Amino acid sequence: MKKTVHSIGIVLEQLEDAKAVGHPLQELYHWREPEEIEAVTQALTSLGYQVALLGTPASLCRNTDRTLAGIDFIFNISVGFLTRFRMSQGPALYELLGMPYSGADPYSKMVSQNKQLTKGLLDSLGIPTPPWVFLQSLDDLPAADVLVFPMIVKPAWEGASIGMDQDAVVHNRSDLQERVERILKNMRMPVIVEQFIVGRELKVGMVGHDPITFSGIIEDTAGDGTPLGDQFLYFDAKKKGSFSKCALNIADPAYARLMADCHRLYRTFAPLDYATFDVRMDGEGNHYFLEFNADATLHPRRTLAECCRLNGLPYDLLIKGILDSAFRRFNLAGT
């Protein structure tokens, strides 16, 4: 007999948790903004659940019995700070506690967080990704000689374009060395150097598992609606709203190979309740996966929610789709 879920606890990081880390906040942009917390809470409440904010995985671990008293299910939007395993800590704890939860498991969280692991997996599966190298120190810089300019330089363990500004794309060896050195010093983590693909930037969103209940594509464009071309999404421009988004027709044959690869990759990381894919498409229609995001934000104005909205799925049904998927996995019943 299925257990019915009545109460849901949200595990997350907030701004005060980021401040307590003691690093510059621009290196820690993973706390959940009030707008996202309110949207998730309101959606869960409107679906008939009692909702409580439980704090971070660390705070939950320190007060497990008291914090989880009366909680039937964990809605996980925790992604942690700094470490190369930050995203996996919450799911690992819930697994040990025997608590059902939403989102990806520790394996998928950790692999998708680390770009070198994701891109190595893509290569092994024959799924296209831009040529790339993984640099752990400046001594490794000659490895980038196999690439051609322009190149884009990224922190290996980060997301949300943290550590990337308008100069992240480089066109010569001197600028490449300067960017790599800056990330190694300031971010204190290895570096991914990737051949930069001039063209369009697409985002694919998926919700559900066995079955996938939603798939959609949107395009990030310049403010005037034109394709990005040699522009790219960097941290400050994202936060200032310098780019726009538009829906694309998922049934268009031009995206058939892309969607086949998305489904294949989604199944590889399964079980999942939702995820997004960052993709560049060149002028000849060839697609290249940049990232797989098992930690996709649920902020109502960010990628997944916008992909759903622009393709006809309102926010409350996005949250319901996530719950339905997780409940099926854990053999639970909703209210």
Residue 128: the pLDDT is: 98
- Residue 297 CB burial class (10 angstroms; 0-12, 13-18, ≥19): buried
- Print burial letters for 282-293: b (CB count within 10 Å at least 16), e (below 16): eeeeebbbbbbb
From CA 101, how far away is CA 91, in angstroms rounded? 8
Residue 102: the pLDDT is: 98
Range of the domain at 87: 3-102
Whether residues 190 and 223 fall in one domain: no
Place of tokens 């692999």: 111
Task: Tell me, yes or no, whether 29 lies in a domain.
Answer: yes
Residue 97: the pLDDT is: 95
Task: Tell me, yes or no, whether 124 lies in a domain.
Answer: no
Task: Tell me, yes or no, whether 204 lies in a domain.
Answer: yes
State the total domains in the chain. 3
Residues 6+ apart with CB under 8 A from 47: 316, 319, 320, 323, 334, 335
Task: Tell me, yes or no, whether 203 lies in a domain.
Answer: yes
Whether residues 170 and 212 fall in one domain: no
Task: Tell me, yes or no, whether 15 lies in a domain.
Answer: yes
Task: Tell me, yes or no, whether 164 lies in a domain.
Answer: yes
From CA 67, how far away is CA 9, in angstroms rounded? 9
From CA 165, how far away is CA 100, in angstroms rounded? 38
Hey, CA dihedral for 44, 72, 12, 90, is it positive or negative? negative
Task: Indicate which CATH number applies to the domain containing 98.
Answer: 3.40.50.20
Residue 81: the pLDDT is: 83
3-class SS at 45? helix
Backbone angles phi, psi at 153, to 5 degrees: -115, 130
Residue 202: the pLDDT is: 97
Whether residues 57 and 148 fall in one domain: no
Task: Tell me, yes or no, whether 115 lies in a domain.
Answer: no
Task: Indicate which CATH number applies to the domain containing 204.
Answer: 3.30.470.20
Whether residues 207 and 308 fall in one domain: yes
- Residue 301 CB burial class (10 angstroms; 0-12, 13-18, ≥19): middle
From CA 215, how far away is CA 318, in angstroms rounded? 11
Place of tokens 């594509």: 217
Task: Indicate which CATH number applies to the domain containing 164.
Answer: 3.30.1490.20
Residue 21: the pLDDT is: 80
Whether residues 60 and 18 fall in one domain: yes
Whether residues 208 and 178 fall in one domain: no
Structure tokens at 204: 């694919």
CA proximity to 179, closest of 197, 171, 275: 171
Domain endpoint, select from 195, 226, 241: 195
Residues 6+ apart with CB under 8 A from 119: 129, 132, 192
Task: Tell me, yes or no, whether 121 lies in a domain.
Answer: no
Below-50 pLDDT ranges, the chain: none
